[in-house]
Structure 1
Amino acid sequence: MSSEPTNLSAVRRPIETAHGLPNAHYTDPAIFAEETQALLASQWAGLAVAGDVPEPGDAVPLEFLGMPLLLIRDRDGVVRVFQNICRHRGMILVDAPRKIEGAIRCPYHSWCYSTQGRLVSTPHVGGPGQNTHEGIDRATLGLIEVSSHVWRDIVWINLSGTALPFEQAMYKMIDRWAEFDQPLFHGGDDSRFDLSVNCNWKLAVENYCESYHLPWVHPGLNSYSRLEDHYHIEEPGEYSGQGTLVYRQIRSEKDGSVFPDFEGLSGKWNEAAEYISAFPNVLLGVHRDHAFAIILTPETHDRTTEHVHLYYATPDTDPDLRARNTHQWKQVFEEDIFVVEGMQKGRHSPGFDGGRFSPVMDGPTHLFHDWVALKMDQYRNGPPGIRAAE
């Protein structure tokens, strides 16, 4: 924890008089370490997508907040997340994406685990040729499982194990987009890309959830979905964002066709689209004919990786149209890079006091700052522990 905790009282004021978060929340590694616990480990954070492990036995090693994790689809088809370490001596179990054909075998002493995490084999643990020992209780030495939940293909995790069940913690967002509670299909390799940005992850959230910057940063998008066509989305404690009343479908240059719509949508979605920052680190977008998710992975206090995935209503879509859609969104998201990196540089100015908010235009961003300040205050008054699941 920082030796000098930041004063966040001004952040929690009404928007008319509130300040933004202090500079240290973007530039101080000690504050970053605090926030990883208060904002990321104790909440439902986005880790990856279930599409990364499409078949039973598929396993992908990942790192989140410095913790080695293993994303796996078990033999029954259930997506699980484990700490990627052997319970014997802490060796990394899986060092590259692969198919688990039998058991998860530790390369050090060959202790083996099922895809459900059970310890199933301990060769020579009682001496040569003795594969059991009364001091080694396999039933209590399975892999350490991390609480996880799959929604909209995103694998959400709660490292602390202290959050409410996902359906309770995120019920307002689930209800808001209940019409989209139907199958969605990842577009494949041409519908995913990563962006590396030199900024604190919170700046990506702040920028995404407001439309105020559209006329200057996204002139192409603003040419048809104008600033005045947008509305705020604000749900204290859970998410904030923006919507547009003018969504223009992308059309094939060959025959004018469009992507198939999601089924049974109300008339609102004929022309509307919504973009929400699900606190802490997932950015979501829905349209009548496609959706996307951006998972923000904080690498350091001033470096973030954005993992972008696009989805469709049917498994087979026009590859040319898909590629154009990916290119279009990549261009939009790349237009934001100079902004978030510029704000990161600006946070090194000692005279900057966190800035102010437009009472009319900055509501979603202020809501996020208020959430950060609230969670930080709660953490400082009693930080949650990391649960070691059995």
Structure 2
Amino acid sequence: MHEVDFRITSTGNRVATGPLTSDSSQRALIPARAYTTAAAHEVERERIFAAGWVWAGYAHWVAETGQVKPITVAGRPLLMIRGEDDELRVFHNSCRHRGMALTEEPVRVKRRLQCAYHCWSYDLDGSLAVTPYFQRERQGRGGPADPRALGLLPVASRVWAGMVFVDLGERDMDAATASFDRFVAPLAQRWSHIDFDRIRLADERVFDIAANWKLVVENFLDFYHLPFIHPQVGPVNSSLDVDDEALAPEIIGGCYPRGATGKAAKTSDALPFLGAVPPEKTESQDIFCVFPNALLFLEADWFQVIGFDAVSADRTVEHMAIFVDQDGTSEDHSVNRKRLAEVLFGVNEQDLPILEKLQAGRHSPASDRTSLVPHWDQVTAMFQQLVADRVGGPNAGDSRA
């Protein structure tokens, strides 16, 4: 298992005094108030969710030309739009005249998206198309001298492995492409044997959880609880076999050498593999958090994503999707797909009461004395370090900050 060289940062954050050893524990690196206060949540929105690449949704939400899907990232209303050129683009959900949200429900339009306030219309690539009576003339055919200046404001976005990522802080669209490639490169290289162009949705579900987003991630990275909360995934010995993995500072998790969860989900007939899976990977399961809000599982024949919106300090909305190879969507594999979804959704449902109790516990002053133990919590410590470094400041998470 990898060990983290914990440290006190130059900004004064209390993060640790040294590496965890076999005979020491370390207090949690994030104060309890960071899980409960609106002020802390707002700081995290600005410094984490609005300041780098984050999961924003799924490409299949706008699979057809003209489909428009409103989403929210860091509290900002955005639009995912599938253009006539089949490109998926993301824009700020704000009319360039008076700022009205163009739609708050998924819609499909033929050519243009129209604002209901003054009927300004936009093409599917975000360009301004129609501005009725713009110059207050009776014919109503005039428009701005430079309509390009009043198109929908784009958001840096990329599609990878069926997911949509956005970077609200990036203004240079060309630079965004290189930035995203660097961001995802360690995982893309590890999974280079997977043909993600062939993955298709098997099932998806939304979970509305009364817990802070950081608890969602920490629970996901906690292999210690598996035999106690999810006994169907295997005995205690299975959890002892999980190897901690840190592919990059923002891609952390572990590798389950025998994929116990997947085995519980399968019937006698296997689903088709997701590409040319090497022999040494046919029995393993990768479990990674792509910081901050994409939680990924990969086995040889299925791919699961839990992407989430950190709505408030005590509410997280998960969008869980299960993907299989396109050959696995046939009727011949319907029983396996259904069984796989039942098991994976069931595992997630088992965590819901645990997360709500963890959230309740964060209101106790004793929560500031919780411990990270060396043999189980190294990856959790990596995550908490990321949060602390991003938020910064000696009073990070303080309701008085």
Matched-pair contact (CA < 8 Å) for 2:157–2:165: yes
Indicate which of 180, 188, 192 corresponds to 2:194. 180
- Aligned residue for 1:294? 306
In the alignment, structure 1 residue 206 sits paired with structure 2 residue 218: yes
What do you get for the CA RMSD once the two structures are aligned? 2.3
Distance apart, 1:95 and its partner CA: 3.0
Indicate which of 324, 334, 339 corresponds to 1:312. 324
Indicate which of 272, 278, 281 corresponds to 1:260. 272
Q: Distance in 2 between matches of 1:40 and 1:349?
A: 27
Matched-pair contact (CA < 8 Å) for 2:186–2:248: no
Q: Distance in 2 between matches of 1:224 and 1:350?
A: 31
Q: Secondary structure of 1:226's partner? A: helix
Q: Secondary structure of 2:367's partner? A: coil
- Aligned residue for 1:386? none
- Aligned residue for 2:4? none
- Tell me, which stretches of 5 or more residues in structure 2 are unaligned? 1-10, 397-401
Q: Distance in 2 between matches of 1:225 and 1:84?
A: 49
Matched-pair contact (CA < 8 Å) for 1:294–1:308: yes
Matched-pair contact (CA < 8 Å) for 2:217–2:295: yes
Q: Distance in 1 between matches of 2:35 and 2:12?
A: 14
Q: Secondary structure of 1:333's partner? A: helix
Matched-pair contact (CA < 8 Å) for 2:70–2:103: yes
Shift in CA distance, 262/124, structure 1 to aligned 2, threshold 3 Å = same
Could you list the per-position Cα deviations for residues 131-150 of structure 1 after superposition, in whole angstroms to 9, with x for gaps in the alignment?
Answer: 3356x531111101111110
Distance apart, 1:252 and its partner CA: 6.5
Shift in CA distance, 354/374, structure 1 to aligned 2, threshold 3 Å = farther
Matched-pair contact (CA < 8 Å) for 1:239–1:368: no
Shift in CA distance, 207/200, structure 1 to aligned 2, threshold 3 Å = same
Shift in CA distance, 303/217, structure 1 to aligned 2, threshold 3 Å = same
Q: Distance in 1 between matches of 2:376 and 2:157?
A: 35
Shift in CA distance, 335/225, structure 1 to aligned 2, threshold 3 Å = farther
Shift in CA distance, 291/225, structure 1 to aligned 2, threshold 3 Å = farther
Where does 1:343-362 land on structure 2 (aligned, <5 Å)?
Answer: 343-353=358-368, 355-362=370-377
- Aligned residue for 1:98? 107
- Aligned residue for 1:322? 337
Where does 1:333-348 land on structure 2 (aligned, <5 Å)?
Answer: 333-348=348-363
Q: Distance in 2 between matches of 1:214 and 1:328?
A: 14
Shift in CA distance, 261/181, structure 1 to aligned 2, threshold 3 Å = closer
Q: Distance in 1 between matches of 2:86 and 2:159?
A: 12
Distance apart, 1:338 and its partner CA: 2.1
* TM-score, structure 1 normalization: 0.89
Distance apart, 1:347 and its partner CA: 0.9
Q: Distance in 1 between matches of 2:158 and 2:265?
A: 35
- Aligned residue for 2:184? 170
AA partner of residue 371 (structure 1): L
Distance apart, 1:11 and its partner CA: 1.9
AA partner of residue 320 (structure 1): V
Could you list the per-position Cα deviations for residues 214-245 of structure 1 after superposition, in whole angstroms to 9, with x for gaps in the alignment?
Answer: 12111111239711221111245212112111
AA partner of residue 225 (structure 2): H
Where does 1:76-115 land on structure 2 (aligned, <5 Å)?
Answer: 76-115=85-124
In the alignment, structure 1 residue 129 sits paired with structure 2 residue 139: yes
AA partner of residue 350 (structure 1): P
Q: Secondary structure of 2:366's partner? A: coil
Q: Distance in 1 between matches of 2:46 and 2:188?
A: 25
Shift in CA distance, 373/235, structure 1 to aligned 2, threshold 3 Å = farther
Matched-pair contact (CA < 8 Å) for 2:36–2:313: yes
Identity of paired residues, percent? 28
- The alignment of Structure 1 onto Structure 2 pairs a total of residues equal to 370
- Aligned residue for 2:3? none
Q: Distance in 2 between matches of 1:64 and 1:185?
A: 25
Distance apart, 1:179 and its partner CA: 1.8
Q: Secondary structure of 1:311's partner? A: strand
Q: Secondary structure of 1:104's partner? A: strand
Q: Secondary structure of 1:351's partner? A: helix
Q: Secondary structure of 2:371's partner? A: coil
Could you list the per-position Cα deviations for residues 238-282 of structure 1 after superposition, in whole angstroms to 9, with x for gaps in the alignment?
Answer: 1211211112546765xx211011221111212111110110000
AA partner of residue 194 (structure 2): F
Matched-pair contact (CA < 8 Å) for 1:58–1:72: yes
- Aligned residue for 2:285? 273
- Aligned residue for 1:19? 27
Indicate which of 57, 75, 84 corresponds to 1:75. 84
Q: Distance in 2 between matches of 1:44 and 1:129?
A: 46
- Aligned residue for 2:256? 244
Matched-pair contact (CA < 8 Å) for 1:60–1:97: yes
Q: Distance in 2 between matches of 1:106 and 1:67?
A: 18
- Aligned residue for 1:3? none
Q: Distance in 2 between matches of 1:129 and 1:12?
A: 70
Matched-pair contact (CA < 8 Å) for 1:184–1:314: yes
Q: Secondary structure of 2:154's partner? A: coil
AA partner of residue 335 (structure 1): Q
Q: Distance in 2 between matches of 1:184 and 1:202?
A: 32
**After TM superposition, what 4+ stretches of structure 1 lie above 4 angstroms from structure 2?**
250-253, 378-381
